[in-house]
Amino acid sequence: MLVPLGDPAGRSAWTVESPDGRQFAVFLLDDGSVRVSDAGCPHRGGPLVEGRVRDGEVRCPWHWYRFDLDTGECRTTDQHHLAVHPVVERDGELDADVGDPPPVLSWSERLRAHAQGDS
Ligand code: FES
């Protein structure tokens, strides 16, 4: 699924939403390139768009975990990984390729996944 990144309008970070309601953080780096990640920090859901961006990484504003914006690698701990999404150009506009929405699971499927440690 492609999500238009829109016009930065002077901002260096902003959020966009996919048609299915997922939120993504968009970062305009000093070299003019753009990176896109999930909007919520994988640690406790902090708003990464409010984080400090430097040297290709974002530092979450809540607990200061650092994430590489190219790979999603957490440089603070190996227990978390940030989902990053490729940016593609289409008709002169930039879009994020955010993949398919997660499947909708029944309650029994959610409980089974939780019991197996998948959630
Ligand atoms: S919520 Fe981001 S580091 Fe804790």
List the domain range (segments joined by +) for residue 40. 2-115
Beta bridge partners of 8: none
- Report the number of distinct structural domains present in the chain: 1
**pLDDT at 118 > cutoff 80:** no
**pLDDT at 119 > cutoff 60:** no
**pLDDT at 105 > cutoff 90:** no
pLDDT given for residue 52 in this prediction: 97
pLDDT given for residue 101 in this prediction: 84
- Nearest residue (by CA) to ligand 1, atom 3, is 63
Residue of 117 and 88 predicted with greater confidence: 88
Average model confidence (pLDDT) for the chain? 94
The pLDDT of 9-37, averaged and rounded, is: 96
The pLDDT of 20-26, averaged and rounded, is: 97
Q: How many other CB atoms sit within 10 Å of the CB of residue 54?
A: 11
Ligand 1 close to Cβ of residue 65 (< 6 A)? yes
The CATH number that applies at residue 92 is 2.102.10.10
The pLDDT of 49-70, averaged and rounded, is: 97
Ligand 1 close to Cβ of residue 54 (< 6 A)? no
Residue 33 phi, psi (nearest 5):
-80, 165
3-state class (DSSP) for residue 68: strand
pLDDT given for residue 80 in this prediction: 97
- Say what the pTM is: 0.87
Q: Which atom of ligand 1 is nearest to the CA of 65?
A: 3
